[in-house]
A and B are shown apart, each in its own frame.
Chain A
Amino acid sequence: DTEVTQTPKHLVMGMTNKKSLKCEQHMGHRAMYWYKQKAKKPPELMFVYSYEKLSINESVPSRFSPECPNSSLLNLHLHALQPEDSALYLCASSHPDSGEYVGELFFGEGSRLTVL
């Protein structure tokens, strides 16, 4: 069983809706990530939070808004999405970069998003 929990597992939304994806981990990791994965493609990095601060934003459109309320939670707020945003959204966590090896990324099972 994965130790990174994502909800919901499936989400269908219209282009005018506002929804949120949630991610939770209790491994004490202080780095959390959002990745987007289209079919038959590798995960693409969207955002990285380190110690609850946004450290990487890979030029993601503003219709995606991340939030890290505390060290265990990561949200992705969605608004005015386009059909091409339909994808599997993966949350991951790891140790933060503190000069040692970060080690592995622990992935959640993903939220499969369909935008109509």
Chain B
Amino acid sequence: EDKVVQSPLSLVVHEGDTVTLNCSYEVTNFRSLLWYKQEKKAPTFLFMLTSSGIEKKSGRLSSILDKKELFSILNITATQTGDSAIYLCAVEAWHFNKFYFGSGTKLNVKP
């Protein structure tokens, strides 16, 4: 059965800390892995990863994919209270627009 597992489920840090969120997957016909941030409403897109070892970076956020070991990490450096959200990992499979979501990691950044 196809699945996406995120860890930890929740995390509490203080401003300025660096955090690493994990996403492992077992998905037949993997095509891409996506990271989303969800605050109160719709998930907002962060990164799409398709190739192993190539880091994607946006400001304090970065992500990398390992297709051999079937996982991805999302790093957030110098965390701010505005980073508090649920971070969702989704894996796209070939054919039929199928996306599998992990259960998310709830990040709480305290002042």
Q: Please tell me if the beta carbons of A109 and B97 are within 8 angstroms of each other in the complex.
A: no
Kindly state whether residue A11 has any CB partner on chain B within 8 Å.
no
Q: Output the least CB separation between B5 and chain A (Å).
A: 11
Q: Please tell me if the beta carbons of A43 and B97 are within 8 angstroms of each other in the complex.
A: no
Cα of A13 to Cα of B32 in the assembled complex, Å: 38
Cα of A96 to Cα of B31 in the assembled complex, Å: 14
Kindly list chain A residues whose C-beta atoms are within 8 Å of the C-beta of B45: 104-106
Q: Please tell me if the beta carbons of B96 and A2 are within 8 angstroms of each other in the complex.
A: no
Main secondary structure of the interface of B (DSSP, over half): strand
CB contact under 8 A between A42 and B34, given known A90-B42, A109-B42 = no
Q: Please tell me if the beta carbons of A102 and B97 are within 8 angstroms of each other in the complex.
A: yes
Q: Please tell me if the beta carbons of B41 and A109 are within 8 angstroms of each other in the complex.
A: yes
Q: Output the least CB separation between A13 and chain B (Å).
A: 20
Give per-residue flags for B34-48: 1 if the beta carbon is below 8 A from chain A beta carbons, else 0: 100000011111001
Cα of A50 to Cα of B98 in the assembled complex, Å: 11
* A/B interface sample: 7 pairs, CB < 8 A: A40-B106, A42-B101, A90-B42, A101-B31, A103-B48, A104-B45, A105-B34
Q: What residues of chain B have their CB less than 8 Å away from a CB belonging to chain A?
A: 31-32, 34, 41-45, 48, 50, 88, 90, 92, 94-99, 101-104, 106
Q: What residues of chain A have their CB less than 8 Å away from a CB belonging to chain B?
A: 2, 4, 31, 33, 40-45, 48, 50, 55-56, 88, 90, 94, 96-97, 101-110
